[in-house]
C-alpha cells in the first residue's frame, strides 16, 4: 500500500478542491497507521546491585501489524552490549539462554518480563541509579527502528512497604 504523498498532492491543482481535504486526511491516517504498527511501552531496566555490571531490561511491544514481526536486536549509546535472553524453568531448573531474535505475534502484545524474555545489559562505568533514564534503540525486521526511553527502577518497587502510622 502506498499512501498519497506531498508530491502527488502538488500535482492535483485546483480542479478537485473538495478531494484535497480527503486526501490530506487519508495521508494523515496512513502516516498515523505506519507509526503505530509497532509500539513500545513500559520500558524499564533494573538498577544493578552494587558491584554488578549487569541489568535486566523489560518492555512491552504491541504488534498491530497483520504479520509476525521480529525484534532483531537492541542497542544503546550508553551500554556496551545488550543481548536478548530468555529465562526458562524446566523441571524445576532455571536456565537462561541467549536468543538471536524475538518473534512478535500479529495483533498481540509481547512482553519482556521477569522470568521470561528479557534484555541483558552489560554496563560499563558508573552503574545507573533508580530514577535515571537510558536510551534504547530497538531494531526490527525490515530495518525499522524505534527509539525508546527506559526508566531505571529498583526491583521489587511493588513490594509491600511499612509505612504504618
Partner 1 sequence: MRLTRRNALVAAAFALATVSGLGGGMYLAGSRHGAAPDIPGLLWPQPKAIGHFALVDDHERPFDRGRLAGKWSFLFFGFTHCPDICPTTLATLANVAARLHAPVGGAPYQYVFVTVDPQRDTTAHLAEYVDYFDERFIGVRGDDEALAEFTRQLGVVWFRGEPDEEGRYLVDHTAAVMLVDPEVRLVGVFSAPHDAADIAARTARIRAFLEGGQRS
Residue nearer to partner 1 on the CB measure, 69 or 85: 85
Residue nearer to partner 1 on the CB measure, 132 or 141: 132
- Copy the grid coordinates of residue 38: 509497532
Whose CA is closest to 44, among 158, 135, 153, 161? 153
Residue nearer to partner 1 on the CB measure, 11 or 97: 97
Q: What are phi and psi of 93, to 5 degrees?
A: -105, 125
Residue 55: CB minimum distance to partner 1, A = 6
Residue 66: CB minimum distance to partner 1, A = 31
Q: How does DSSP assign 146-163, residue by residue?
A: EEEEEEEE-TTTTS----
Q: How far is CA 1 from CA 8, 21, 30, 38, 126, in A?
A: 15, 20, 9, 17, 47
Binding site for partner 1 (CB under 8 A): 46, 49-52, 54-56, 85, 87, 89, 91-97, 114-115, 118, 120-121, 155-156, 158-162
Residue 34: CB minimum distance to partner 1, A = 33
Amino acid at each position: 500500500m502506498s499512501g498519497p504523498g506531498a508530491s502527488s498532492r502538488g500535482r492535483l491543482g485546483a480542479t478537485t478542491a473538495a478531494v484535497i481535504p480527503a486526501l490530506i486526511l487519508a495521508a494523515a491516517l496512513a502516516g498515523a497507521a505506519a507509526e503505530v504498527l509497532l509500539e513500545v511501552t513500559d520500558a524499564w531496566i533494573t538498577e544493578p546491585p552494587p558491584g554488578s555490571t549487569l541489568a535486566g531490561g523489560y518492555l512491552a511491544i504491541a504488534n498491530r501489524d497483520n504479520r509476525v514481526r521480529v525484534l532483531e536486536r537492541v542497542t544503546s549509546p550508553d551500554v556496551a552490549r545488550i543481548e536478548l535472553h530468555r529465562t526458562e524453568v524446566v523441571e524445576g531448573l532455571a536456565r537462561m539462554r541467549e536468543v538471536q531474535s524475538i518473534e512478535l505475534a500479529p495483533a498481540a502484545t509481547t512482553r519482556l518480563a521477569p522470568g521470561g524474555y528479557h534484555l541483558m545489559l552489560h554496563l560499563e562505568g558508573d552503574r545507573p541509579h533508580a530514577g535515571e533514564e537510558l536510551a534504547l534503540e530497538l531494531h526490527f525486521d525490515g530495518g525499522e527502528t524505534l527509539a525508546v526511553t527506559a526508566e531505571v527502577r529498583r526491583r521489587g518497587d511493588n513490594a509491600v512497604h511499612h509505612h504504618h502510622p
